[in-house]
Structure 1
Amino acid sequence: MVKRILVVEDDLSLKPLWESFFSRRSQQVQMDWVVSCEEARKIIKKANEEKNPFYLIITDIFLAGSGTGMELLRSPEVMNSQARTVLVSAADRYEILSKFGHLMPNTEVISKPLDFRKYEPILNHLLTR
């Protein structure tokens, strides 16, 4: 079974890092990439309607366009999906969790700069749940 992953990030220089990380997984994954909250909501809605939902949605907190990653995670498109979610932020992981964790109790938070050695256990857990 192929697991669909959506990465929502406006920093295109990070795309090769995410592609490399997911290409090393033993599970089959298909990664899609968009740069804004608006694009993400559209692609998630379409995937849900087509009964081919995303298994994992990873979003940066600040995105191109008018919406944020937190707004995306609280959107009906994400809330009505069964996707596991990850919020990526340049802020400290524990600071984000302490301030906003109650708004997104089922979301993992990882910090930039991306250190996949540090966050690999979290991401692997999300992919195998």
Structure 2
Amino acid sequence: MDKGDRSERQSGTPGWLIADTRPLNRGNRTTKVRQWVRQEQRHPNPSALRIERWQLQVRGRVQGVGFRESCSRMAKDLNLSGWVRNCPDGSVEVQAEGQPYQLTELRLWCERGPREAEVLSVSQSQLAPLKEDWFEIRR
């Protein structure tokens, strides 16, 4: 490391942190490996996260194949809140709330469904967020 690198690190670059990672053994002394990490990757600002609520209507052979249970498990794995239920017309309705990339993952899963399902279509609309903190299966 030359003198220019040291002065750059001492002055600090806005938005960057030095993170200590695993220790390295060198002879009889232990040193730590340091790595530059973007500050927003390490400590995301919760107020900067955009929360949306989507309603998905899944049509096809989606009732009686474990769709609601599988959908609930997937939504919980994605840290989404909301609910899923069977509709009288044979479709399944999902309302989920979270970050757009998580909702997109859920929609992609709904387009496939569990192994026994035969999904024909998924329609989507956006709703106002309700700020729920759970996901449930409704009857």
TM-score under structure 1 length normalisation: 0.26
Higher strand share: 2
Higher relative contact order (CA 8 A, sep 6+): 2
- Structure with bigger helix share is 1
State the structure with more CA Rg. Answer: 2
